Every structure is written in structure tokens, then in C-alpha cells.
Amino acid sequence: MAYPADRKYTKDHEWIRIDGDTGEIGITDYAQQQLGDVVYVELPDIGRSITAGESFGSIESVKAVSELFAPMAGEVVAVNDALRNHPEVVNSNPHGTWMIKVKLASPTDSGALLDASQYQSHLG
């Protein structure tokens, strides 16, 4: 699968798509493949502040549970409630499924993250 060029990636396999001062955060196709069938996504409450690299939730598959790490700092302004009843969309459409929206503390501060081709090489 091609990794979209309209967003940045972490080495922990999250993506963030920045639009103005807001970032949508999800996990990559590689991450969902590694996890297998997702059965629960645990997300933070709206209003919570998160710092870059901090765990903001967890994702649980039949096989394993993994932490979700924030690519950038900010305040959670929306969570994807549809994932409560349909966590499997993370498997079927990982790049079209945001988990949280964050009002970014410094929207231009994404330099440390990987772009699509860097992430692709990171996967090897």
C-alpha cells in the first residue's frame, strides 16, 4: 500500500495529517497489519493535553495490545466515537480513519517526523 504524502509519520507507526492548527491522528497500514484484527480502541477524553511521544490511548487486537503515541503536542478536541462500535475500520481503512483530532501547540513543529518516503524506507 502507498503511504499518503499529505501527512507525517512516526517510527511507532502513527500518522498525523495537519490542517491549519489541527492535526488528525491515526495508525498506519503497517501497524494494522502487525496488530491483526482490532477489537478495541481506547481513546482519551476531549480536552486532555498530550505531549509529543506521550501515550494517548491503546489499541487492542485479538493478538496484542499496543500503546498509541502522540506525534505532536496539543489538546484533544475530538475523538472518533465510531471506533467504539466499529474498531475493525482501523484494519479496513487505516489511512482514512482518524482516532483523535488535536489542536496543535505548534503546528509547524513537525520537522522531527517522517514524510511518506522516509517512513517507507523506515519500514525497509
Partner 1 sequence: MTETITSALKKTPLHARHCASNARMVPFGGWEMPVEYSGITAEHMAVRTRAGVFDVSHMGEIEIAGKDALAAVQRISSNDASRLQIGQSQYSALTTFEGTFVDDMLVYRMAPNHFMLVVNASNIEKDYAWIAAQIREAGDAAAVDSSSRYALIAVQGPAAIDVLQPLCTVDLSVIKYYWFTHGEVASARALISRTGYTGEDGFEIFVPPATADRLWQAILQAGRSAEVIPCGLGARDTLRLEAAMRLYGNDIDESTTPLEADLGWIVGWKKDSFIGHERLREQKEQGITRKLVGFELLDRGIARHGYQVVRGDRPIGVVTSGTQTPFLKKSIGMAYVPLDLSTPGSELTIDVRGRPSRATVVPLPFYKRKG
* List of residues contacting partner 1 (CB under 8 A): 13, 31, 34, 36-37, 39-40, 42, 58, 60, 62-63, 65
* Per-residue cell: 60: 487492542
Distance CA 60, CA 83 (A): 12
* Per-residue cell: 78: 475530538
Distance CA 68, CA 18 (A): 18
Answer whether 99's CB lies under 8 Å from 83's CB. Answer: yes
Cβ-based nearer residue to partner 1, 54 or 60: 60
Distance CA 101, CA 25 (A): 6
Cβ-based nearer residue to partner 1, 85 or 108: 85
Smallest gap from Cβ 106 to partner 1, in A, equals 29
Cβ-based nearer residue to partner 1, 12 or 75: 12
Smallest gap from Cβ 33 to partner 1, in A, equals 8
Smallest gap from Cβ 66 to partner 1, in A, equals 8
Cβ-based nearer residue to partner 1, 23 or 94: 94
Distance CA 55, CA 99 (A): 13
